[in-house]
Chains A and B, each alone.
Chain A
Amino acid sequence: MLRKVLMVIAAFLLFLLQSCVFPHMSLGGIVPNLILIITSIFGFMHGEKAGMITGFCLGLLFDIFYGDYIGLHALILTYIGFANGKFFGIYYPEDIKLPIGLTITSNFSYGILCYIFSFLIRGRLNLGYYLLHVILPELIYTLIISIVIYPLVLIVYKAFERHENKKKKEA
């Protein structure tokens, strides 16, 4: 239960960080995609359901604040959480290659889907420009931030597990 509360707080905190703090630290007008990182992390660390619920809730928040209509980002992030959850079985905390690979793939597919559903359908065909100026910079910035966030999440988890073990021993 406490773990779930912590997860909700962490996801909420990252949403706030992304909309209030990171715009001040944007590089060339590009902001890293923190809600995608946390959706992906919860997906491969806790399975597809956790990923989906995180993606759906954060996507919904994003849509209410910034979307012209509600549901698009919620849908994209739900599927990204689900896809990341498929790797739950082969995930080990010691291996950093899988989280990095998943973050890259998730962010790239997120970018392409956003382009298709909010630009291509309005007849903006210049994919090359959007790829070079939005999708790839966001991917790189997000990757750098995820390399910072992922170990932090691991540290919190380890501390939490030690705390739980202690409690079990005492009981």
Chain B
Amino acid sequence: MSPVVKQKKEKFTLSGKYLLLIFSIICILLMVFTYGTSAFDKPLNIAVGYVVVPFETGISRLGSWLSNRSDEFTDVKDLLAENEELKKEIARLTEENSILAQDKYELNELRILFELSDQYNDYNKVGAHIIAKDSGNWFSAFIIDKGTDDGLAEDMNVIAGGGLVGRISAVGPNWARVTTVISDGNYVSAMMLSTNDTLIVEGSLELMDNGIIAFSQLKDKENVVVEGDKVVTSKISDKYLPNILIGYIQYVSADSNNLTKSGYITPAVDFSNLSEVLVITDMKNVDYK
């Protein structure tokens, strides 16, 4: 036997240090590339869409079935009390509704007079289930079970319960990631419904626990913004459609420069108990055409 033959039989192994170096280089290159471009996103999103998402859909269906079963055991007393309250609420709402119906009739008349189309009232929406939540504790995002196959695209707005949830920040064939407005480092250009003054709504991890979001740069020259005022997405935002309710002013104070104000907003959406959301398939740039 010659030594050459022996060498051939030796198995090729890579020492741990070199493997670490290779992985580090791959990671750093990926970071640099994906930070600047989104060229990798599409193939990767499609790949995980076929490998991971089917399992996630299955598990979350099982999970929601189980949590529904456990909900059925809630105390009957609680339900009765809630029923009583809801009946009162219905009575109040019916009254309010009749007034609103009158107002709407008047509004339509006025709109015809002003030749305004009510383009913001009928967005096309697609319902979606939440199948997974951000598995870390640092940011607030979740995965829904619809993607490009259902006509979704990046930057589409997501709402639930009449309020803004966030926007789609990544999308695959059968899944999409929704980054919420309460997520740290997420900014939304907003305005006061009453005065049309613009402000910036800013998600923060520190405030997330208290269920509130911060806002800043509110120019309120007439000093009319008070607690409880409605905050909606602004007309000048390039990613959010206008006039979607974000929340209500909870606290407002003047900044030290005496020009702008900042404070906190109570979001209109209960982010801790979301299970279904609506995706608005109309996009901002389409509205301008």
Contacts and interface: CB of A to CB of B under 8 A. Distances in A.
Interface stretch (A71-79, A90-98, A148-156, A160-168): A71-79
B27 A78 contact: yes
A122 B183 CA distance: 14
B238 interface: no
Contacts of B126: none
A99 interface: no
Contacts, number: 137
Nearest to A51: B16
Interface string B30-70: 11001100001000110010001001100110010001000
A68 B208 CA distance: 19
A72 B31 CA distance: 7
Contact of A30 (B60, B137, B141, B272): B137
B206 A20 contact: no
Interface band, chain A: 35 or more
B138 A119 contact: yes
B28 A65 contact: no
Q: Which of A16, A65, A69 has the most CB of B within 10 A?
A: A65
Contact of B56 (A16, A35, A73, A75): A16
Interface in B51-100: 52, 55-56, 59-60, 63, 67
Chain B binding surface, main DSSP class: helix
Given A61-B48, A74-B27, A79 B20 contact: yes
B175 to A, nearest CB: 8
Contact of B138 (A71, A85, A134): A134
Contact of B135 (A24, A62, A134): A62
Most buried by A among B30, B48, B63: B30
Contacts of A66: 134-136, 139, 141, 177
A20 B67 contact: no
A128 to B, nearest CB: 11
Contacts of B106: none
Contacts of B133: 19-20, 23, 31
A44 interface: no
Contacts of A72: 27, 31
Contact of A65 (B26, B35, B177, B206): B177
B123 interface: no
14 contacts: A15-B52, A16-B59, A19-B134, A20-B133, A23-B132, A23-B135, A24-B67, A29-B272, A31-B133, A66-B134, A75-B24, A118-B138, A133-B205, A134-B137
Interface of B: 14, 16, 19-20, 23-24, 26-31, 34-35, 40, 44-45, 48, 52, 55-56, 59-60, 63, 67, 131-139, 141, 143, 169-170, 177, 184-185, 205-206, 208-209, 272
Interface of A: 12, 15-24, 28-31, 33-35, 47-49, 52, 56, 61-62, 64-66, 68-75, 78-79, 82, 85, 114-115, 118-119, 122, 124, 126, 129-130, 133-134, 137-138
